[in-house]
Amino acid sequence: MKVGYVNAGGGAKRIATILGNHTKIAMVGVTSETRNPKLSALFYCGEEPRSDLSESPTAKELGYDVVFASSLSGTAPKAPRRTWFRNWRVSLSR
């Protein structure tokens, strides 16, 4: 799988790249993500789940050994979670 990293600045700029269809997913701070109803946190990169992201599993719960010290979540435009996770798993299996 080929993954490109785009430095888009802070959380507001990253959110703008998602909503403008310039990126498919971005790592943003949990507080930025939870305030925007057009976005969905697909997963959280902390050690333990967060109560304010009750529907979002941790990356570890999804089987990926990823933990960030800061409160970041993999965030994407709001869509059925099943669709995002299916596409994510297919991409990672390549």
Judging by beta carbons within 10 Å of its beta carbon (0-12, 13-18, 19+), is residue 7 exposed, middle or buried?
A: exposed
Please report whether residue 57 resides in a domain: yes
Write down the pLDDT at residue 90. 66
Counted domains in the chain: 1
Please report whether residue 36 resides in a domain: yes
State pLDDT tens for residues 16-28: 888 898 888 888 8
Query: Would you give the distance in Å from CA 3 to the centre of its chain?
Result: 14
Give the ranges where 1-94 is alpha helix by DSSP (H). Answer: 11-19, 30-34, 81-93
Q: Which pTM value belongs to this model?
A: 0.70
Instruction: Give the range of the structural domain holding residue 43, as residue numbers without chain letter.
Output: 11-93
Write down the pLDDT at residue 61. 92
- Buried b / exposed e over 65-84, threshold 16 CB at 10 Å, is eeeeeebbbbbbeeeebeeb
Please report whether residue 5 resides in a domain: no
Please report whether residue 2 resides in a domain: no
The first and second tokens of residue 33, run together, are 């993500």
State pLDDT tens for residues 46-78: 999 988 888 889 989 988 888 887 888 888 777
Please report whether residue 79 resides in a domain: yes
Please report whether residue 32 resides in a domain: yes
